[in-house]
Amino acid sequence: MAALTLDRWNIGIGAGHPLLVIAGLNVLEDEALALSTGRHLKAVCAELGLPYVFKASYDKANRSSIKSYRGPGLEEGLRILAKVKAELDVPICTDIHTPEQAEAVAGVAELVQIPAFLCRQTDLVVAAARATKAAGGWLHVKKGQFLAPWDARNIVSKIKEATDGAEFTVLCERGASFGYNNLVVDMLGIGEMQKLGVPVTIDATHAVQLPGADPRTGGASTGGRREGVAVIARAAVASGADGVFLEFHPDPDKALCDGPSCLPLDGARDLLANLKAIHGVVAGA
Protein backbone atom coordinates (compact mmCIF):
# COMPACT_ATOMS: atom_id res chain seq x y z
CA MET A 1 0.00 0.00 0.00
CA ALA A 2 1.10 3.55 -0.73
CA ALA A 3 2.34 6.00 1.87
CA LEU A 4 3.47 9.62 1.80
CA THR A 5 5.22 11.83 4.34
CA LEU A 6 5.55 15.53 5.03
CA ASP A 7 8.87 15.42 6.83
CA ARG A 8 8.81 19.06 7.90
CA TRP A 9 5.62 18.41 9.84
CA ASN A 10 6.45 14.86 10.89
CA ILE A 11 3.18 13.51 9.51
CA GLY A 12 2.30 10.88 6.96
CA ILE A 13 -0.61 9.17 5.30
CA GLY A 14 -1.12 5.61 4.13
CA ALA A 15 0.37 2.29 5.13
CA GLY A 16 1.98 2.36 8.55
CA HIS A 17 0.67 5.80 9.48
CA PRO A 18 -2.16 6.90 11.81
CA LEU A 19 -5.43 8.13 10.39
CA LEU A 20 -4.83 11.59 8.89
CA VAL A 21 -7.33 14.27 9.92
CA ILE A 22 -7.99 17.10 7.46
CA ALA A 23 -10.50 19.30 9.24
CA GLY A 24 -11.62 22.86 9.77
CA LEU A 25 -14.12 25.24 8.24
CA ASN A 26 -15.97 24.93 4.97
CA VAL A 27 -15.02 28.49 4.07
CA LEU A 28 -13.12 31.25 5.83
CA GLU A 29 -15.48 33.65 7.54
CA ASP A 30 -13.00 35.69 9.58
CA GLU A 31 -9.56 35.33 11.12
CA ALA A 32 -10.75 34.84 14.70
CA LEU A 33 -13.06 31.95 13.80
CA ALA A 34 -10.33 30.25 11.76
CA LEU A 35 -7.87 30.48 14.65
CA SER A 36 -10.30 29.30 17.33
CA THR A 37 -11.55 26.39 15.21
CA GLY A 38 -8.05 25.32 14.25
CA ARG A 39 -6.83 25.60 17.83
CA HIS A 40 -9.64 23.39 19.10
CA LEU A 41 -9.15 20.72 16.43
CA LYS A 42 -5.38 20.69 16.86
CA ALA A 43 -5.79 20.13 20.60
CA VAL A 44 -8.24 17.27 20.02
CA CYS A 45 -5.94 15.59 17.50
CA ALA A 46 -2.91 16.05 19.75
CA GLU A 47 -4.78 14.41 22.63
CA LEU A 48 -5.74 11.48 20.39
CA GLY A 49 -2.34 11.17 18.73
CA LEU A 50 -3.70 11.87 15.25
CA PRO A 51 -1.86 13.93 12.60
CA TYR A 52 -3.77 17.12 11.84
CA VAL A 53 -4.09 19.43 8.82
CA PHE A 54 -6.21 22.60 9.06
CA LYS A 55 -8.67 23.02 6.18
CA ALA A 56 -10.61 26.05 4.98
CA SER A 57 -11.47 27.53 1.59
CA TYR A 58 -10.73 31.12 0.67
CA ASP A 59 -13.22 30.98 -2.22
CA LYS A 60 -16.12 28.61 -2.87
CA ALA A 61 -16.36 29.12 -6.61
CA ASN A 62 -18.89 26.36 -7.26
CA ARG A 63 -22.06 27.80 -5.78
CA SER A 64 -25.73 27.08 -6.46
CA SER A 65 -26.55 30.79 -6.56
CA ILE A 66 -24.60 33.90 -7.48
CA LYS A 67 -25.81 35.34 -4.16
CA SER A 68 -24.16 32.59 -2.07
CA TYR A 69 -21.29 33.51 0.23
CA ARG A 70 -17.96 32.57 -1.38
CA GLY A 71 -15.31 33.68 1.10
CA PRO A 72 -12.74 36.48 1.44
CA GLY A 73 -10.94 35.72 -1.83
CA LEU A 74 -7.41 34.69 -2.70
CA GLU A 75 -5.31 37.48 -1.21
CA GLU A 76 -7.11 37.90 2.11
CA GLY A 77 -7.81 34.18 2.36
CA LEU A 78 -4.17 33.19 1.98
CA ARG A 79 -3.22 35.84 4.53
CA ILE A 80 -5.58 34.28 7.07
CA LEU A 81 -4.39 30.75 6.27
CA ALA A 82 -0.77 31.82 6.63
CA LYS A 83 -1.66 33.33 10.02
CA VAL A 84 -3.30 30.07 11.14
CA LYS A 85 -0.27 28.11 9.93
CA ALA A 86 2.21 30.33 11.75
CA GLU A 87 0.29 30.86 14.99
CA LEU A 88 -0.98 27.30 15.45
CA ASP A 89 1.99 25.54 13.82
CA VAL A 90 -0.17 23.33 11.61
CA PRO A 91 -0.05 22.40 7.91
CA ILE A 92 -2.77 23.83 5.67
CA CYS A 93 -5.20 22.40 3.11
CA THR A 94 -7.11 24.66 0.72
CA ASP A 95 -8.49 24.37 -2.79
CA ILE A 96 -7.76 26.20 -6.02
CA HIS A 97 -9.90 26.90 -9.07
CA THR A 98 -7.63 28.35 -11.75
CA PRO A 99 -4.07 27.58 -12.91
CA GLU A 100 -3.02 31.14 -12.08
CA GLN A 101 -3.63 30.48 -8.37
CA ALA A 102 -1.34 27.45 -8.16
CA GLU A 103 1.97 29.00 -7.10
CA ALA A 104 0.43 31.34 -4.53
CA VAL A 105 -1.62 28.56 -2.97
CA ALA A 106 1.24 26.05 -2.94
CA GLY A 107 3.33 28.68 -1.17
CA VAL A 108 0.97 28.53 1.82
CA ALA A 109 -0.79 25.16 1.70
CA GLU A 110 0.91 21.81 2.20
CA LEU A 111 -2.15 20.11 0.71
CA VAL A 112 -3.23 21.81 -2.49
CA GLN A 113 -6.73 20.60 -3.25
CA ILE A 114 -8.42 20.13 -6.62
CA PRO A 115 -12.23 20.37 -6.27
CA ALA A 116 -14.25 17.42 -7.54
CA PHE A 117 -15.91 19.27 -10.41
CA LEU A 118 -12.47 20.38 -11.66
CA CYS A 119 -10.54 17.10 -11.38
CA ARG A 120 -10.39 16.65 -15.17
CA GLN A 121 -9.34 20.20 -16.00
CA THR A 122 -5.91 19.47 -17.44
CA ASP A 123 -4.42 22.97 -17.20
CA LEU A 124 -5.48 23.26 -13.57
CA VAL A 125 -4.23 19.81 -12.57
CA VAL A 126 -0.89 20.28 -14.32
CA ALA A 127 -0.31 23.75 -12.84
CA ALA A 128 -1.27 22.57 -9.37
CA ALA A 129 0.89 19.46 -9.65
CA ARG A 130 3.99 21.37 -10.71
CA ALA A 131 3.57 24.08 -8.07
CA THR A 132 2.87 21.54 -5.32
CA LYS A 133 5.85 19.40 -6.25
CA ALA A 134 8.12 22.47 -6.25
CA ALA A 135 6.84 23.44 -2.79
CA GLY A 136 7.21 19.92 -1.38
CA GLY A 137 3.53 19.36 -0.58
CA TRP A 138 0.82 16.88 -1.50
CA LEU A 139 -1.85 17.24 -4.17
CA HIS A 140 -5.24 16.29 -2.71
CA VAL A 141 -7.61 15.55 -5.60
CA LYS A 142 -11.30 14.97 -5.04
CA LYS A 143 -12.72 12.36 -7.41
CA GLY A 144 -15.45 13.90 -9.51
CA GLN A 145 -19.04 12.96 -8.76
CA PHE A 146 -19.24 11.81 -12.38
CA LEU A 147 -16.24 9.42 -12.31
CA ALA A 148 -15.99 5.74 -11.51
CA PRO A 149 -13.22 5.06 -8.96
CA TRP A 150 -10.99 3.26 -11.47
CA ASP A 151 -11.25 6.19 -13.87
CA ALA A 152 -9.22 8.22 -11.38
CA ARG A 153 -6.19 6.46 -12.89
CA ASN A 154 -6.20 9.18 -15.54
CA ILE A 155 -5.87 11.85 -12.85
CA VAL A 156 -2.93 10.07 -11.26
CA SER A 157 -1.27 9.50 -14.65
CA LYS A 158 -1.71 13.13 -15.64
CA ILE A 159 -0.02 14.31 -12.45
CA LYS A 160 2.90 11.92 -12.88
CA GLU A 161 3.37 12.90 -16.52
CA ALA A 162 3.48 16.57 -15.54
CA THR A 163 6.05 16.02 -12.77
CA ASP A 164 8.44 13.37 -14.14
CA GLY A 165 6.77 10.55 -12.25
CA ALA A 166 6.71 12.18 -8.83
CA GLU A 167 4.45 10.54 -6.26
CA PHE A 168 2.69 13.03 -4.01
CA THR A 169 -0.97 12.50 -4.94
CA VAL A 170 -3.77 11.74 -2.50
CA LEU A 171 -7.20 10.92 -3.91
CA CYS A 172 -10.42 11.76 -2.09
CA GLU A 173 -13.77 9.98 -2.29
CA ARG A 174 -16.83 12.21 -1.91
CA GLY A 175 -19.67 10.30 -3.52
CA ALA A 176 -21.25 9.86 -6.93
CA SER A 177 -24.19 11.84 -8.26
CA PHE A 178 -27.11 10.22 -10.00
CA GLY A 179 -29.12 13.41 -10.08
CA TYR A 180 -32.21 14.08 -8.01
CA ASN A 181 -30.37 16.10 -5.33
CA ASN A 182 -28.42 13.24 -3.82
CA LEU A 183 -24.98 11.62 -3.61
CA VAL A 184 -24.14 7.96 -3.01
CA VAL A 185 -20.83 6.66 -1.65
CA ASP A 186 -19.62 3.23 -2.77
CA MET A 187 -17.18 2.12 -0.09
CA LEU A 188 -15.63 -0.39 -2.47
CA GLY A 189 -14.34 2.60 -4.42
CA ILE A 190 -11.82 3.39 -1.68
CA GLY A 191 -9.94 0.16 -2.28
CA GLU A 192 -10.23 0.58 -6.05
CA MET A 193 -8.50 3.96 -5.89
CA GLN A 194 -5.83 2.63 -3.52
CA LYS A 195 -4.99 0.09 -6.23
CA LEU A 196 -3.74 3.07 -8.24
CA GLY A 197 -0.84 3.35 -5.77
CA VAL A 198 -2.03 6.39 -3.83
CA PRO A 199 -3.48 7.03 -0.36
CA VAL A 200 -7.22 7.74 -0.26
CA THR A 201 -9.25 9.97 2.04
CA ILE A 202 -13.00 10.30 2.58
CA ASP A 203 -14.76 13.65 2.42
CA ALA A 204 -17.61 12.66 4.69
CA THR A 205 -18.92 16.23 4.82
CA HIS A 206 -19.59 16.78 1.15
CA ALA A 207 -20.70 13.18 0.70
CA VAL A 208 -23.92 13.99 2.57
CA GLN A 209 -24.75 17.06 0.49
CA LEU A 210 -28.12 17.39 -1.19
CA PRO A 211 -27.14 19.57 -4.16
CA GLY A 212 -29.60 22.35 -4.84
CA ALA A 213 -31.96 21.09 -2.15
CA ASP A 214 -31.72 23.46 0.80
CA PRO A 215 -35.33 24.18 1.84
CA ARG A 216 -34.18 27.35 3.60
CA THR A 217 -33.40 28.98 0.27
CA GLY A 218 -35.85 27.25 -2.03
CA GLY A 219 -33.09 25.34 -3.78
CA ALA A 220 -30.75 28.32 -4.18
CA SER A 221 -28.15 26.53 -2.04
CA THR A 222 -27.05 23.00 -1.17
CA GLY A 223 -28.82 21.07 1.53
CA GLY A 224 -27.36 18.22 3.53
CA ARG A 225 -27.89 15.42 6.01
CA ARG A 226 -25.60 16.34 8.90
CA GLU A 227 -26.51 13.19 10.80
CA GLY A 228 -24.98 11.13 7.99
CA VAL A 229 -21.45 12.56 8.23
CA ALA A 230 -20.38 10.25 11.06
CA VAL A 231 -22.01 7.27 9.32
CA ILE A 232 -20.06 7.88 6.10
CA ALA A 233 -16.82 8.58 7.98
CA ARG A 234 -17.05 5.41 10.07
CA ALA A 235 -17.92 3.24 7.08
CA ALA A 236 -15.08 4.68 5.01
CA VAL A 237 -12.45 4.20 7.72
CA ALA A 238 -13.73 0.65 8.25
CA SER A 239 -13.30 0.18 4.48
CA GLY A 240 -9.65 1.21 4.67
CA ALA A 241 -9.59 4.98 4.10
CA ASP A 242 -6.23 6.52 5.00
CA GLY A 243 -7.62 9.87 6.12
CA VAL A 244 -10.80 11.80 6.85
CA PHE A 245 -11.87 15.22 5.60
CA LEU A 246 -14.38 16.89 7.91
CA GLU A 247 -15.84 20.37 8.28
CA PHE A 248 -16.87 21.86 11.62
CA HIS A 249 -18.38 25.08 12.94
CA PRO A 250 -19.17 26.28 16.48
CA ASP A 251 -22.76 26.86 15.34
CA PRO A 252 -23.39 24.94 12.09
CA ASP A 253 -26.81 26.45 11.48
CA LYS A 254 -25.18 29.88 11.32
CA ALA A 255 -22.31 28.83 9.03
CA LEU A 256 -22.13 31.05 5.97
CA CYS A 257 -21.74 28.08 3.61
CA ASP A 258 -23.00 24.46 3.60
CA GLY A 259 -24.27 24.58 7.17
CA PRO A 260 -26.58 21.55 6.71
CA SER A 261 -23.53 19.33 6.07
CA CYS A 262 -21.35 20.81 8.80
CA LEU A 263 -20.69 19.22 12.20
CA PRO A 264 -20.75 21.03 15.56
CA LEU A 265 -17.22 21.71 16.76
CA ASP A 266 -17.89 20.41 20.27
CA GLY A 267 -18.55 16.95 18.85
CA ALA A 268 -15.16 16.60 17.18
CA ARG A 269 -13.43 14.66 19.93
CA ASP A 270 -16.01 11.90 20.23
CA LEU A 271 -16.15 11.32 16.47
CA LEU A 272 -12.38 11.38 15.95
CA ALA A 273 -11.81 9.04 18.89
CA ASN A 274 -14.29 6.63 17.35
CA LEU A 275 -12.62 6.88 13.94
CA LYS A 276 -9.18 6.30 15.46
CA ALA A 277 -10.43 3.13 17.12
CA ILE A 278 -11.92 1.83 13.89
CA HIS A 279 -8.72 2.62 11.98
CA GLY A 280 -6.71 0.78 14.59
CA VAL A 281 -8.81 -2.36 14.15
CA VAL A 282 -8.50 -2.22 10.37
CA ALA A 283 -4.74 -1.63 10.53
CA GLY A 284 -4.37 -4.49 13.01
CA ALA A 285 -3.06 -2.26 15.79
* Interval 145-156: pLDDT, tens: 999 999 999 999
CA of residue 17 relative to chain centroid, distance: 18
Alpha-carbon distance of 158 to 188, in angstroms, equals 23
Q: What is the pLDDT of residue 221?
A: 46
Alpha carbon of 214 to those of 71, 179, 209, 275: distances in Å? 19, 15, 9, 29
What stretches of the chain show up as alpha helix (H) in DSSP? 31-48, 74-88, 102-106, 122-135, 153-162, 188-194, 229-238, 268-283
Hey, what CATH class is 3-283 in?
Answer: alpha beta
pLDDT band, residue 212 (cuts 50/70/90):
low
Higher pLDDT, 218 or 78: 78
Average pLDDT, the chain: 92
Higher pLDDT, 166 or 226: 166
Query: In terms of C-beta density within 10 A (0-12 exposed, 13-18 middle, 19 or more buried), how is residue 7 classed?
Result: exposed
Q: What is the pLDDT of residue 69?
A: 75
- Residue 258 is among the residues annotated as catalytic for this protein: yes
pLDDT of 174 above 70: yes
Please give the model's pTM, rounded to 2 decimal places. 0.94
| Annotated catalytic residue, options 95, 203, 214, 258 | 258
pLDDT of 215 above 70: no
| Annotated catalytic residue, options 60, 133, 158, 276 | 60
- Residue 67 is among the residues annotated as catalytic for this protein: no
| Annotated catalytic residue, options 26, 42, 59, 133 | 26
* Domain residue ranges in the chain: 3-283
**pLDDT tens, 93-129?**
999 999 999 999 999 999 999 999 999 999 999 999 9
pLDDT of 44 above 60: yes
Q: What is the pLDDT of residue 261?
A: 85
- Residue 123 is among the residues annotated as catalytic for this protein: no
Alpha-carbon distance of 74 to 252, in angstroms, equals 24
